[in-house]
Structure 1
Amino acid sequence: MIGVFDSGHGGLTILSALSRRLPRQRFIYLGDHANAPYGQRSPEEILALTQVGVARLFGLGCTLVILACNTAAAVALRRLQQEWLPLAYPNHRCLGVLVPMIEEIAQNPWHAVASPADGLRRREVLGVFATPATVASGAYLHEVAKRAPHLAVFQQACDDLAGLIEAGAPEDRLMQSVAAHVAALDRQLGGVPVDTVVLGCTHYPLVEHLFRAVLPDRTRIVSQPQRTADALTAYLFRHPEMKSFGPVPAALRCFTTGDPARATQLASAFLAGHPAGNKVAFESLPQHLTGHVEYA
């Protein structure tokens, strides 16, 4: 099975795209609602919480886990892959949503570097809306610069938005937050138009229509869920041992570290107007996975 991990219910936007692209693949989702949001936590807290979440998905039978959380992917993924998995779970894998997005933005594969010709391309402006922890990691800034030096990257930390989405804030309050962050990015740019915007948190596609309403019509918004689905499909062709296809479309199972009724209510309310649909029901984690988990 393949696990999908997020700090709350934002990663359901990723899960939906994955299940539509790979309907016979078995997926398990885990939302760490008890500790959401991650965006204002320290790097060590994010690493510890992400490691526990991934270990719990391994405990549910997953051999591959997708970090459907930009904060976790930006802050924790590399250390998990290099320091923890080889020792604790050498036959398991963990991937994130950040790499597919960088590849999409830069139009270069992850292991490629920019050529001299890339520096001669027309300068474009890329805006990244993300959590404070993702912005502080510098992941988008540094990785895009390696592969697409013609892109001028401007980051805007949205300190409240993921938390508002998790809390089920009304749409007018969400619009206030989105508009304020777009205005802050405009001030950074000093009137220069933004060509492309990345919604660098998987919660943000749930309010993409609000970003669309306040951004210029000419600004492209990059779709993270679809790009992640494309990347996973390609990965499974290269690593067929990670597939777990059934004969018919697989049922989705969603677990939470928080209150299942509350998580179901909030997720269903937000997904009602989103392409992900609103058929989601969270379960409590099995008892043997809810206790203390040692950090590496």
Structure 2
Amino acid sequence: MIPVTSRVSFQPIQRGQQSLSQASSSGDDHAESKKSNLDALLQCYNNRDLGKFFHPGGAEDAAKSLESAKKVMLLTGFNVAEGMPETDGPGGTAALAHALNELGTVVTFVTDRENRNVLKAALNVLNPKLAEYAKFKSLPIKSASDISSIAGQLLRDEMPDSVVAIEVPSRNSDGVQRNMRGDDISSFNSSLDEILLQANKLKITTIGVGDGGNEAGMGGLHGIPKAIDGSEMKAAVPARYPVTAWNSNFGAEAIAAVLLARHGQLEKLHTPEQEVAMINAMLDAGAVDGITRSRIAGEPSVDGKAHTGVDGFAPGVHHAMVTLLKSVVDNMHRGFISRSIPQNAAPFLIAAFDSSNGGLIAAKNLAAFISVRSQQTARFVIVVDHGNAVYGDKSRDTLVSLVGNGLKTANAVGVDVIAMACNTACTAFPEAKEGVNNRILDLIEVTAQAMVNHGGDKPAIIATPAVVAPGTNGLNKYEEALKQASDKKMSLPPEFRIGATEWASMINKLDHLSTEPEVTEKLQESVEKYVRKIPDDATSLWLCCTHYPALKPHIEAALRKLGRSLDVIDPMEYQAEKIMELMSSKKEKDLSTRLPSTKPIVITTGNFIEVGNMARELLGMNDVIVMESKFGDDFSVELVKDEIFLAERNSVTQDRNLAGFHAAKRFRRMPSPAEGSSRAEN
């Protein structure tokens, strides 16, 4: 590891006025003023002639432009050679995403397949929830002419307020992407710069972060040097707010620091230790240092002048830079805090229905997807029929009756939508829906449509044996739904439907959370057994039992062990998307009578003590309301209302006999640890 002082100095560079084809007036004002301490820090290493095209005040202007953004699209991914994504870009993207997320801004990521794993590795260090639940879009490697329609449609679908490109290769005036050496890298890099071009046309705020002048957003800056071999690499794609820095990660981190500081939350900037961990994680995920082309942290280049980390500097240097960044920004004039995050908003009420513990896992994931991808408040009522589980061995008449009672219970609570979290329960439709006047999201239908849109030509599923088996008409329920969703263009042959017999019972025993070697070894053996059954030509893998997403990390590890790259998809992602569509369409609905709480409520036909303990493990939280009751016509809704509605809290609490003695006998509530024994069972 090289010492910080041997490579980093703070010699101010005299600069003249810069110009940019789409530069902001604030950027021009900065060019006339004295360089700030932050500018000096961003420009402290000038070996690549950064001083000739440095854009003063860029990070500050970019941060200010993001203050009112509710949804931001982040682009990153620079492959310096084929199969060589670099560490510069994804790290800064993760840092900025983390800051935006802390401030309540929704972020969407767009990259290519090579860089997605690197980006997720960086995010896992700073914000695992974003890594797991944020929306990731991968742009294929195509020419700009082929990809322009894809880029435009992506912007129309996501409707971001701002688009930020961080270390994204830009085409030059000849339409060619080149690296610093002058190599043509167009054939193995996505045309992410097209998204920036399209965003400029649509008048969406754009930010570009670069360090060499060949990155998207640097278009229009004067003084960009030629490549090492003398060829033209200068970017032709501009951004409204260009940000220049001696490495792009650091430029994005500077935006994050200023943004957090202006909200009075600079302490939420990632730590120097996390910076080092992030670099190591990216190298482990397959990234290389763009200068040394090595994946071993600290390893020197052949000439000994550079060390592997980010852009030729070992992780220890970047550790020091984050320390300096926080100190510099902390002493800047911050301006005003522009907005605060709404707190205690009345929630949109969502029921998740399942036969047992899969509903708890599904609700946790639904809540996480919604919290990361939406600014609206959601609360879950989890209706789980533990007393009658499992559903897979029930006759159809029995199944219709049980599912119908569960839906009536959810409906009686007064939820805004019922999201099915049980594939088997969906096979009881349409009969089980009778008498339920609420929107019901059929998990099989939603998943089948998502397979058509996002699963490639040959999606595969892993589910319980009951779900993958043929129905009474000889067709599997998923196969039927997939054919209908694709207008009979896609099918789901038997070899693409894998029944995992023992996974649900393992999850019910919490084997996936165990640290005992014998348990984890047995679990991994089981996972690998079924992963080996996935056809070689499968284009995606869908976990079509709501228990199974609990094993997603194990499944992905087994795929990597086999040398396979396959998207493993939790269908709750698309149930969540449907819910968010409904939330947006019902923004004007009066929710003022609801308690401003997001505490989940579990209503079960099982033993409320046993289910309560399981709920806290699988939901990953202690403060859960757990109630035991019969379902259907025997459900006493009056005893639930005081947990949900403001108007009901006093009246129902004062008169617990409102629903009668018999209702009280069939309804029991488990107090949360926060309440202690003050709320014992009725």
TM-score by length of 1: 0.74
* Structure 2: segments with no counterpart, 5+ residues: 1-348, 512-518, 637-662, 664-682
Following the alignment from structure 2 to structure 1, what is the Cα–Cα distance between the partners of residues 424 and 581? 23
Q: Following superposition of structure 1 onto structure 2, how do residues 1-296 of structure 1 map, counting pairs within 5 Å?
A: 1-20=349-368, 21=370, 24-62=377-415, 64-73=417-426, 75-81=427-433, 84=434, 88-89=435-436, 91-107=437-453, 124-136=457-469, 137=471, 138-148=476-486, 149=489, 153=493, 154-169=496-511, 170-183=519-532, 185-186=533-534, 189=535, 192-215=536-559, 216=562, 217-238=564-585, 244=591, 248-271=596-619, 277-279=620-622, 281=624, 283-286=626-629, 288-289=634-635
Closer/same/farther in 2, CA of residues 182 and 35 from structure 1, 3 Å limit: farther
Following the alignment from structure 1 to structure 2, what is the Cα–Cα distance between the partners of residues 7 and 96? 15
Following the alignment from structure 2 to structure 1, what is the Cα–Cα distance between the partners of residues 419 and 449? 17
> C-alpha offsets along residues 9-68 of structure 1, whole Å, 9 cap, x if unaligned?
222333234434265234311222222232343333332221121122233333532211
C-alpha contact 1:124 1:151 (8 A) present in aligned 2: no
C-alpha contact 1:24 1:248 (8 A) present in aligned 2: no
Following the alignment from structure 1 to structure 2, what is the Cα–Cα distance between the partners of residues 36 and 173? 25
Following the alignment from structure 1 to structure 2, what is the Cα–Cα distance between the partners of residues 68 and 50? 12
Closer/same/farther in 2, CA of residues 242 and 52 from structure 1, 3 Å limit: farther
C-alpha contact 1:63 1:92 (8 A) present in aligned 2: yes
Please, which moves more after superposition, 29-38 or 55-64? 55-64
Q: Which has the larger radius of gyration?
A: 2
Following the alignment from structure 2 to structure 1, what is the Cα–Cα distance between the partners of residues 623 and 396? 30
* Structure 1: segments with no counterpart, 5+ residues: 109-122, 272-276, 292-296
For 1:124, give the aligned amino acid: D
SS for the counterpart of 1:177 is helix
Closer/same/farther in 2, CA of residues 19 and 125 from structure 1, 3 Å limit: closer
Following the alignment from structure 1 to structure 2, what is the Cα–Cα distance between the partners of residues 255 and 220? 34
Work out which structure has the larger RCO, using CA pairs closer than 8 Å and 6 or more positions apart in sequence. 1
Query: What residue number does 2:10 align with?
Result: none
Following the alignment from structure 2 to structure 1, what is the Cα–Cα distance between the partners of residues 623 and 524? 25
Closer/same/farther in 2, CA of residues 243 and 76 from structure 1, 3 Å limit: farther
Closer/same/farther in 2, CA of residues 237 and 28 from structure 1, 3 Å limit: same
RMSD: 3.0
C-alpha contact 1:36 1:163 (8 A) present in aligned 2: no
TM-score by length of 2: 0.35
C-alpha contact 1:195 1:219 (8 A) present in aligned 2: yes
SS for the counterpart of 1:219 is coil
Following the alignment from structure 2 to structure 1, what is the Cα–Cα distance between the partners of residues 622 and 439? 28
> C-alpha offsets along residues 62-85 of structure 1, whole Å, 9 cap, x if unaligned?
353221112212x1133333xx1x
SS for the counterpart of 1:202 is coil
TM superposition shift of 1:214: 1.8
C-alpha contact 1:131 1:159 (8 A) present in aligned 2: yes
Following the alignment from structure 1 to structure 2, what is the Cα–Cα distance between the partners of residues 12 and 103? 24
Please, which moves more after superposition, 134-143 or 148-157? 148-157
Following the alignment from structure 2 to structure 1, what is the Cα–Cα distance between the partners of residues 466 and 404? 17
Closer/same/farther in 2, CA of residues 152 and 15 from structure 1, 3 Å limit: closer
Closer/same/farther in 2, CA of residues 251 and 278 from structure 1, 3 Å limit: closer
C-alpha contact 1:29 1:255 (8 A) present in aligned 2: yes
C-alpha contact 2:420 2:441 (8 A) present in aligned 1: yes
Following the alignment from structure 2 to structure 1, what is the Cα–Cα distance between the partners of residues 429 and 591? 23
Following the alignment from structure 1 to structure 2, what is the Cα–Cα distance between the partners of residues 238 and 4? 20
> C-alpha offsets along residues 131-164 of structure 1, whole Å, 9 cap, x if unaligned?
2222234122122233442565410122332233
Closer/same/farther in 2, CA of residues 242 and 71 from structure 1, 3 Å limit: farther
SS for the counterpart of 1:261 is helix
Q: Which has the higher helix share?
A: 1
SS for the counterpart of 1:128 is strand
Following the alignment from structure 1 to structure 2, what is the Cα–Cα distance between the partners of residues 255 and 284? 5
For 2:477, give the aligned amino acid: A
TM superposition shift of 1:205: 0.6
Following the alignment from structure 1 to structure 2, what is the Cα–Cα distance between the partners of residues 212 and 286? 38
Question: Aligned residues: percent identity?
Answer: 23
Closer/same/farther in 2, CA of residues 106 and 244 from structure 1, 3 Å limit: farther
C-alpha contact 1:2 1:63 (8 A) present in aligned 2: yes
C-alpha contact 1:128 1:197 (8 A) present in aligned 2: yes
